[in-house]
Chain A
Amino acid sequence: MIRFDHVSAAYAVQTPVVRDASFTIDNGEFVAFVGTNGAGKSTTMRLCNGLLKPTAGRVLVDGVPTTELRTSDLARRVGFLFQNPDRQICCKTVREELEFGFRAQDALTDEARARVDATIERFGFDANAEPYLLNRGTRQLLALASIIVMEPDTIILDEPTTGLDFHECEKVMGAIADLHTRGKTIVMVCHDMEVVADYAERVIVMTAGEVVASGPTFEVLRQRAVLERAGLIAPQVVDVSLRLVERHPELAGTPIATANTLDEMVAAIEAYAAGAKEAAR
C-alpha cells in the first residue's frame, strides 16, 4: 500500500512540483495518473519509490515512510519502469539483463536463475540476444521483464507506451494487465487516454502539482470540467457518448449515455436502433 499524506516536493530550490498531495493506493489496485506535461505525475512516481524525498508531508510504502528506507531497499518492494528503456539496459545479453537486479542485490541464487528462465520463456525472448539490437518495443518489454522478474509487490510505470506502435503497446500492456490479474499493484503514468480507459481501474488527475480528482476510471473520465481543467480529453467512446447526450437529451437514461467501451457503445446503438425500428412498426 502506498499512502501520500499532504506531500509536497520540489527539485533543488525551485517552486514545488507536487503540492499537498494526499491519496492512498491499495494493494492490488491498477491506478493511472493523468495530466498534462509538468503536472507533477512523474515526480509523484519518483516519490513513490524514494528516488525523491518529500519536502513536506509523508510518503508511506507499506506503512513505512520512504525517508526511513534506502531506495535500494524500496526497489525490492516497488519496481519502477522508466519511459526510456535505454537508461536501464546495460548488459550484453538478455539473460544478463534479467539477472542484473539480483546481482545488484547479491541475490543471484538458483531460485533467481529459475525465475529468469521462466521470464525468458514467458516473454519469448532470445536469452543470448544483445539488448541494444532489439527493436524499441522489445527493449521496453525487456526493461519491464527485468522489473517483473524481481517480483516486487508494486510496479510503477512511467509512460510505458511512449514511442511504441499499436502491437508493441498491446504486448507491453498485456504483460502489465497479466501482472495485475496476479495481484500486483500497478501505478501508471499515461498520456494515452484510450490505454487508461482500457486498463486502469482508478484514475488520479493532476494539474499544476495538485491532485484535482480521483475515482473509478469512467466516473472521472466522464467529468468534462475536471478533464478540461487538467487539459485532457476523454477517450473517444466516452466523448461520443457525452456528445450524443448533450445534443440529444432524450438519450439520457439509455445505455448510450453510459457506454464506456466500443463493445458497449455498439451494443447500445444496436439496441436503440432495434427499439426505434420496433416503435416505427
Chain B
Amino acid sequence: MKGFLEYVPGDSLLHKMNPVAKLAVSLLIIFACFITQSFVALIAILVLDYAFAAHCKMMPQTVGLTKAVAGFSAILALIALFTVPAGAVLAPLPWGYIGTGSILAAVRIVLRLVACAIPLFLTFYVTKINDISNALVKVCHVPYRYAFVFSSTVHFIPVFMNDMSGIMEAQTARGVEFDGGFAKKVRLMVPLCVPLLVSSVRKTNSAAIAAEVRGFNLRTRASGYKEYPFAGRDVCALALACALFAASFLV
C-alpha cells in the first residue's frame, strides 16, 4: 500500500480528469457540505464520495480516512453535544441541556467533516502533486512560488510522518511509554515535538537552498512543457458539481 497522500497510479475517470477540474469539483462538494443542513443531503454526498472511491479503487484509503476524520470530529461532536442546547430535553446540564437537537448537531458535524474530507483526499491520491501545482500555474495563473509552497507542503507530509515514527522509536527505546492517560500524552508531546520541529526546520531550510541553487527564481509560467487542457468530462464534472452546490442552498 502507498503512503499517506501518495499518488496511486490508475486509469479511472478521476485519474484522467484535469487536475484543476478535480480540485474545483472537490471544493464545490466541500462548500455544499458546509452549506446544507439536511442529513439526507450529507448522506447522499457521503454515498457519492464512496462511489468515487470505489470507482478509482481507493476504498481501503477512504475507509482509513473516514475512521481518522470521524475520530477527530468526535471531539468537536462532543463539544457540540454539551454546548448546543436544542430540541427536546434529554439531560439537563448546569449551563443548559442536552437535547435531541444537540445529538443531531453532533452527528451532523461528524457526517459533514467526513463527507467534505474524502473528495479532497481522493484528489490527492489520484493526481500527482506536481501535476496539481503545474496545472494551477498553467490554468489558474497562480504564481509558481505559491504553487511550489503547496506541492512541497504536501510532499513533506509523508516525510514528517516518517520522521515522527523514527522519533517515536528513538524515544520508546529510551523507555518512554506512549500509551497512558491524556495528561501523560500531553507531557510526552515535548520529546516528540522538539525533535520534529528541529528536523523539519533543517529539512525545509535544505530544500529551500537546494531549490534556490537550481534556479527556482528563474521559473515562469512558460517553463513547464506539459499543458492541461479541459476535456468534455471535466466540463461535465464541473457542471454536476455546480448543480450540487446550487442544490445545497435549497435542501
Which residues of A lie under 8 Å from residue B199 when comparing CB positions?
Answer: 86-87
B175, A90: Cβ atoms closer than 8 Å: no
State the Cβ distance, B198 to closest chain A Cβ, in Å: 6
State the Cβ distance, B1 to closest chain A Cβ, in Å: 7
What 1/0 flags go to A55-78 for Cβ under 8 Å of B? 000000000000000111001100
Give B167's nearest chain A residue, CB to CB: A87
State the Cβ distance, A218 to closest chain B Cβ, in Å: 31
B166, A104: Cβ atoms closer than 8 Å: no
A75, B173: Cβ atoms closer than 8 Å: yes
State the Cβ distance, A134 to closest chain B Cβ, in Å: 12
Does A272 lie at the interface of the complex (its beta carbon under 8 Å from any beta carbon of B)? no
Measured CA separation A89–B202 after assembly (Å):
14
Residues of chain B at the chain A interface (Cβ within 8 Å): 1, 163, 166-167, 169-177, 190-192, 194-195, 198-199, 202
A12, B1: Cβ atoms closer than 8 Å: yes
Measured CA separation A75–B176 after assembly (Å):
9
B171, A88: Cβ atoms closer than 8 Å: yes
Given contacts A87-B163, A87-B166, A87-B167, contact A75 B195 (CB under 8 A): no
A-B contact pairs, 16 of them (CB 8 A): A13-B1, A46-B169, A51-B173, A71-B172, A79-B173, A80-B174, A82-B170, A84-B166, A87-B163, A90-B190, A90-B191, A104-B171, A104-B191, A105-B175, A132-B198, A150-B174
Does A161 lie at the interface of the complex (its beta carbon under 8 Å from any beta carbon of B)? no
Does A146 lie at the interface of the complex (its beta carbon under 8 Å from any beta carbon of B)? yes
Which residues of A lie under 8 Å from residue B1 when comparing CB positions?
Answer: 12-13
Residues of chain A at the chain B interface (Cβ within 8 Å): 12-13, 46, 49, 51, 70-72, 75-76, 79-80, 82, 84, 86-91, 100-101, 104-105, 132, 146-147, 150
Given contacts A82-B166, A87-B163, A88-B170, contact A76 B175 (CB under 8 A): yes
Which residues of B lie under 8 Å from residue A101 when comparing CB positions?
Answer: 174-175
A70, B173: Cβ atoms closer than 8 Å: no
Give B173's nearest chain A residue, CB to CB: A80
B174, A86: Cβ atoms closer than 8 Å: no
State the Cβ distance, A160 to closest chain B Cβ, in Å: 14
The residue among B163, B170, B175 with the most chain A CB atoms within 10 A of its own CB is B175
Which residues of A lie under 8 Å from residue B166 when comparing CB positions?
Answer: 82, 84, 87
Which residues of A lie under 8 Å from residue B194 when comparing CB positions?
Answer: 89-91
Measured CA separation A105–B173 after assembly (Å):
12
Measured CA separation A49–B171 after assembly (Å):
13
Q: Given known contacts A82-B166, A90-B192, what 5 new A-B pairs fall within 8 Å (CB)?
A: A70-B177, A80-B174, A88-B195, A105-B175, A132-B198
State the Cβ distance, B88 to closest chain A Cβ, in Å: 48
Which residues of B lie under 8 Å from residue A71 when comparing CB positions?
Answer: 172-173
The residue among B1, B174, B191, B199 with the most chain A CB atoms within 10 A of its own CB is B174
B198, A51: Cβ atoms closer than 8 Å: no
Which residues of A lie under 8 Å from residue B176 when comparing CB positions?
Answer: 72, 104
State the Cβ distance, A240 to closest chain B Cβ, in Å: 39
State the Cβ distance, B164 to closest chain A Cβ, in Å: 10
Given contacts A86-B195, A87-B195, contact A100 B167 (CB under 8 A): no
Measured CA separation A90–B190 after assembly (Å):
7
Measured CA separation A91–B194 after assembly (Å):
8
Which residues of B lie under 8 Å from residue A79 when comparing CB positions?
Answer: 173
Measured CA separation A232–B224 after assembly (Å):
43
Q: Which 8 A-B pairs have the closest CB atoms?
A: A80-B173, A75-B175, A90-B191, A87-B170, A88-B170, A90-B194, A104-B176, A104-B175
- B172, B177, B195: the one contacting A51 at CB < 8 Å is B172
